[in-house]
A and B are shown apart, each in its own frame.
Chain A
């Protein structure tokens, strides 16, 4: 059975940190008012910050002419979001594990690990410029 989305939005924004902040706040307001727990909102917030900054910096290379597309919906059971940038994509399986001893003191490279740790599903498209994140609601 497909559950009807209680909230469903599609937003295209400029590749700009302030815009990302505004969208992030809107999404957090939606999940909070829809009754997600404090822990779930924390997890969604963290994953959102990481995935949006990845799109801004690594995907769109801080190019203000580029756009980021965000589609999300909230159902009775989960929060689901797809973030797509206009970059060339990347191969997520080739990102080094920041927990390995040789990477522990690197100043970057932890975003994807956090996204995977806090979300229930993380799925990239073949090109690697679009990612689907799912956070299930606690039963």
Chain B
């Protein structure tokens, strides 16, 4: 393995995870602050293309293959792990930090690998390490949610592996590139990737698992899995029409479910599904502008969701609350957090001068360019509906509504390092929005799109303000307290779980019965054998000579009768018998 491969940005982060085992907190903070920046420098020093392969059996694994798209995704991941690590350094457990770093390193390696086998290996590493991040919260709910999360992702992994095997067996190439020939393998690979985006019918896992992680753990979780899935969809399925309705469903689903949610971190989790829906739809639209839009929006989303989750984490760490119905009134107690959350919320809605304004509009423009009017209309409505989740609902419930409980009185801004991390993330959200021209040069395809014109700014505000007005008017109707919405996870958690338990019990009972029967048969057989062949058994006795002579005579007579019967035909025998 060459030095180039060993110094891959993903491996640097995985190596940093080993250094995080150091017992001193000060050294851990240094590793967290330095390693991602080194990896980022290394990433941008690497030219595009393959940097050597490793032969394993009959396969050549392309462990480090840099593309423009992969580089931007990897940069976003490195920034997320750097800022997330700084935010978490003071309060996260060592186990959480180490698993988060291996998870991030695996995600970065997925974006920088050049074949499906390497992709699968890091894909599975991501599934396991992210489950450990969830379990690091050390609560019963986190344990159960982590198990469900792992189950879903291992299921996705099995589908992906089956797809890769089928694809390869039918002559398909394993190298990085858009798959062209729809076959069973093609569809299975796509399904495996879609599981990680939170596509239907498995959209529930994001809101089920992420909010059960620790306040710092969710910051890491929100950045990697779904965006890695968007990256692989761009790399292998750009322009696949089927992704458009899937993306639209996700965008609507996220907006709807967030609207009835009380838990602020679940609101943000639904917002992830909503925004990833935009990216999946953009991949389905295909073409240079749409792919640019999906890539740019993934970068912007990682940044603004990171700052929002840092805000939610700070609130949770200081108040111990994450129910919107128990928060509010924190804006004055947490001024730095509030300022950063407001920037993140503005970026999520696409307010002019923030990141999403210059990235989401690429996707909308691509839909219009392809004359997909219904797609454009749905995306425009879902774009306005961001107000219902991360845009207005989350900051209002957390910071600006009247104080709802005494827990809020403990609210305060986090420590210096966490605050700096939050402010840097918010600054990136603003920088992307303020200098779109420079940001567009980093995208996979050249772009001459200009987001800042009077019409676009007015249209965006015309979308957002009426939506905000509707949100505030309908607030009493859409704020259920102490309620959850059932999702397709109900099938997993009720009937399938019951079937599993019943099946296991029945199998165990059957196993026990079979074992008892086998043991009883063995004992019976042995007793019988002992009865005849034992020391007192009939076949083990020494018989007198007379008995033996009698037995021999009987055997001879039988032999004579059998011989007579065999040598004459049946008719002669009957005649002899009847007439003497």
Co-complex (A, B): no
Residues of A within 8 A of B (CB): none
